[in-house]
């Protein structure tokens, strides 16, 4: 099985941070921020939900310097840290104000994009950060009957450089691929098979034929009209 890559937090990420104590009212202000909304789009940090619609994502926005500002606790440096590391940092700080706080931190904008021959091509916000290639395809409703299972393309932005990886969904080797677990911002493209390409070509030929017939008819009619 492929080893899971733990993503790290970057500027413009959105985090959901919750602190639970024996007295829920004591942390109500901090947890309320998880309902604050940030506008997003597929070209930015992704849509608000798994429907593929653009909208908003709730949580704490990581600023350009890599900090989040939490009520009472203050600024916390989160850049290049995992959600687990940030959880431990916030728990230590929260313990100065609350007794035995329980802290949870997760990405609110972990997005992947699935395009091509799938039922619902779109950008998706995933429920957690441990997402596989199959999870992403499943979120998009699986391949259509025209999807090419032997040649699924993964596009990844790695430090400004594009990586292109091909998968054969019929081959069990995908489970040991270092790319099996997706990174935030990955794009999965399912190519059309020969049947879809052929049907598309036939449709184009048919449209051109109809246009040619119509044009010929207009020429004939025009040539017989006396001005």
Q: What is the pLDDT along the chain (227 residues), one digit of tens a residue?
A: 666 778 899 998 999 998 888 777 766 766 666 655 445 444 444 333 444 444 466 788 999 999 999 888 899 999 999 999 999 999 999 998 888 889 999 998 898 999 999 999 999 988 888 899 999 999 999 999 999 999 999 999 887 899 999 999 999 999 999 999 999 899 999 999 876 555 555 556 566 666 766 676 666 556 665 55
Q: Domain extents for the chain?
A: 14-107, 111-192, 197-227
CA distance linking residue 62 with residue 87, whole number of Å? 15
CATH topology of domain 111-192: Outer membrane lipoprotein wza fold like (3.10.560)
Token duo for residue 194 = 């020969």
CA distance linking residue 51 with residue 53, whole number of Å? 5
Is residue 219 classed as helix, strand or coil in its secondary structure?
A: helix
Q: What CATH number does the domain located at 14-107 have? A: 3.30.1950.10
- Indicate whether this model's pTM tops 0.85: no
CA distance linking residue 207 with residue 213, whole number of Å? 10
Q: Provide the β-strand partners of residue 152.
A: 167, 190
Is residue 205 classed as helix, strand or coil in its secondary structure?
A: helix
CA distance linking residue 112 with residue 126, whole number of Å? 7
Fold match, 14-107 / 111-192:
no
CA-nearest of 103, 9, 106 to 65 is 9
Q: Provide the β-strand partners of residue 76.
A: 68
């Amino acid at each position: 099985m492929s080893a899971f890559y733990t993503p790290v937090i970057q500027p413009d990420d959105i985090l959901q941070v919750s602190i639970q104590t024996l007295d829920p009212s004591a942390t109500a202000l901090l947890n309320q921020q998880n309902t604050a909304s940030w506008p997003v789009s597929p070209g930015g940090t992704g849509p608000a939900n798994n429907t593929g619609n653009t909208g908003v994502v709730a949580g704490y926005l990581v600023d350009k310097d890599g900090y989040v500002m939490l009520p009472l606790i203050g600024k916390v440096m989160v850049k290049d840290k995992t959600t687990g590391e940030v959880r431990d940092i916030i728990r230590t700080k929260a313990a100065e104000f609350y007794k035995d706080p329980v802290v949870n931190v997760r990405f609110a904008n972990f997005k992947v994009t699935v395009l091509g021959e799938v039922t619902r091509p779109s950008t998706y916000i995933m429920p957690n950060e441990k997402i596989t290639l199959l999870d992403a395809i499943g979120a998009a409703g699986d391949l259509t009957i025209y999807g090419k299972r032997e040649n699924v393309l993964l596009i990844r932005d790695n430090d400004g450089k594009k990586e292109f990886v091909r998968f054969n969904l019929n081959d069990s080797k995908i489970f040991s691929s270092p790319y099996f677990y997706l990174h935030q911002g990955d794009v999965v493209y399912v190519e059309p098979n020969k049947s879809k390409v052929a049907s598309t070509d036939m449709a184009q030929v048919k449209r051109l034929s109809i246009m040619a017939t119509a044009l010929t008819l207009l020429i004939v009619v025009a040539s017989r009209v006396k001005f």
